[in-house]
Copies of this chain bind each other. A is one copy, B any other.
Amino acid sequence: MARAPAAPVADVSVDLIRAAGVKVTRGRVRVLDALHAARQPLSHAEMEMRLDEGSEPAMDRVTLYRILDSLVACGLALKAVDTRGVFRFSAAGAQRQHANHVHFRCTDCGGVFCLKAEPPPPPRLPRGFRLNELAFDLRGTCAGCSSREAV
């Protein structure tokens, strides 16, 4: 007894951040931890609320924006815009697995379904265009919503 240390056994976020080649700061660790814990992509406002709950003093609004962007820049987070036009962030591991297949998005319930098919090769781009990501989305009504609708 009297041994059990406040032991930092294995801190995933810290390691990821260090491996990404940027400085390991308290802010970045807190934010990346929160992203990993989240079930859905978080907006800046939502992130701010989650961080406020903790014991540490809230970080500056601008700093949070910069931390989120830096995590995106070094590949540890993803940034996407939601239907209201607000940016949402998620831990990178969570979405990379969705890069190589097609998605079906239900316009009724908002659900996203992963299909087996993989997206086709990108067509040739006009001169000067730089491709970053490719999304092949089918939109319609999912099985559940279709049957419910057919009443």
Using CB atoms and an 8 Å cutoff, list the residues of chain A in contact with chain B: 81-87, 102, 104, 107, 113, 115-117, 119-120, 122-144, 146-147
Would you mind naming 16 contact pairs between A and B with Cβ atoms under 8 Å apart?
Answer: A81-B83, A113-B129, A115-B126, A120-B136, A122-B138, A127-B143, A128-B144, A128-B146, A129-B141, A129-B146, A131-B138, A132-B140, A133-B140, A135-B136, A135-B138, A137-B137
The 3 residue pairs across chains A and B that have the minimum distance between CB atoms = A128-B143, A117-B123, A85-B85
Complex Cα gap A145–B139 (Å): 29
A129 B140 Cβ-Cβ under 8 A:
yes
Q: How far is the CB of A94 from chain B (nearest CB, A)?
A: 17
Complex Cα gap A31–B113 (Å): 35
Q: How far is the CB of A102 from chain B (nearest CB, A)?
A: 6
- B residues less than 8 Å from A130 (CB atoms): 140-141, 146
Q: How far is the CB of A117 from chain B (nearest CB, A)?
A: 3
Closest to A107 in B: B132
